[in-house]
């Protein structure tokens, strides 16, 4: 003799408030009025949108650009370098210009913004794909993350 389990079903409510039957979902129930209102009311008022923009668009500014003071100094040094005739002074100006350009390229003169951006990008990467960012653990109780060199050999059936 066998007894089968009854069909698991749940109930839901459609847009009109009519009850529907939903199969294979366990633990859900229809929203009551208060719970449903939280989805379409904001501070007790019906949440609506309009086709009109709320105001003029915000002006976009380039973030992380070259410091205007350094950009002006680079331009000034390049002009000075073009006018200078003394080889010793020209060499000194060129060294200063090269140093300043390297600072701008590496982001060293941005007040640490480049490092902060890299740190935030890494944090986002770790959050989005934690498996990629895990480091192999040496604890015998933690799961392995590096399977490139396996210490266990799985026997295979002998062929032929």
- Measured torsion, CA atoms of residues 35, 40, 44, 45, in degrees rounded to the nearest 10: -160
Cross-strand bridge partners of residue 62: none
User: What's phi and psi for 83, nearest 5 deg?
Assistant: -85, -25
pLDDT for res 142: 47
| Beta-bridge partners for 10 | 22
pLDDT at residue 105, as a whole number: 79
pTM of the entire predicted model: 0.31
The pLDDT assigned to 76 comes to 92
Alpha-carbon span 105 to 20, nearest angstrom: 62
* Per-residue confidence (pLDDT) for residue 8, from 0 to 100: 61
Task: Note the pLDDT of residue 139.
Answer: 47
In the prediction, which pLDDT does 6 show? Answer: 61
- Are 78 and 97 a contacting pair, CB within 8 Å? yes
Q: What does the domain layout of the chain look like in residue ranges?
A: 9-46, 68-106
User: Which residue numbers in the chain have pLDDT < 50?
Assistant: 137-139, 142-152, 160
């Amino acid at each position: 003799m066998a007894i089968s389990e009854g069909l698991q079903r749940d109930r839901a409510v459609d847009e009109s408030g009519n009850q529907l039957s939903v199969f294979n979902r366990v633990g859900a129930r229809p929203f009551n009025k208060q719970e449903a209102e939280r989805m379409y009311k904001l501070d007790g008022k019906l949440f609506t949108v309009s086709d009109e923009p709320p105001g003029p668009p915000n002006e976009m500014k380039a973030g992380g650009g070259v410091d205007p003071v350094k950009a002006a100094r680079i331009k000034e040094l390049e002009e000075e370098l073009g006018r200078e005739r003394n080889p010793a002074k020209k060499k000194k100006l060129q060294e200063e210009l090269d140093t300043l350009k390297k600072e701008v390229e590496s982001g060293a003169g941005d007040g640490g913004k480049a490092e902060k951006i890299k740190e935030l990008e890494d944090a986002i990467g770790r959050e989005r794909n934690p498996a990629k960012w895990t480091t192999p653990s040496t604890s015998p109780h933690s799961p392995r993350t590096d399977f490139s060199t396996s210490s266990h050999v799985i026997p295979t059936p002998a062929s032929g």
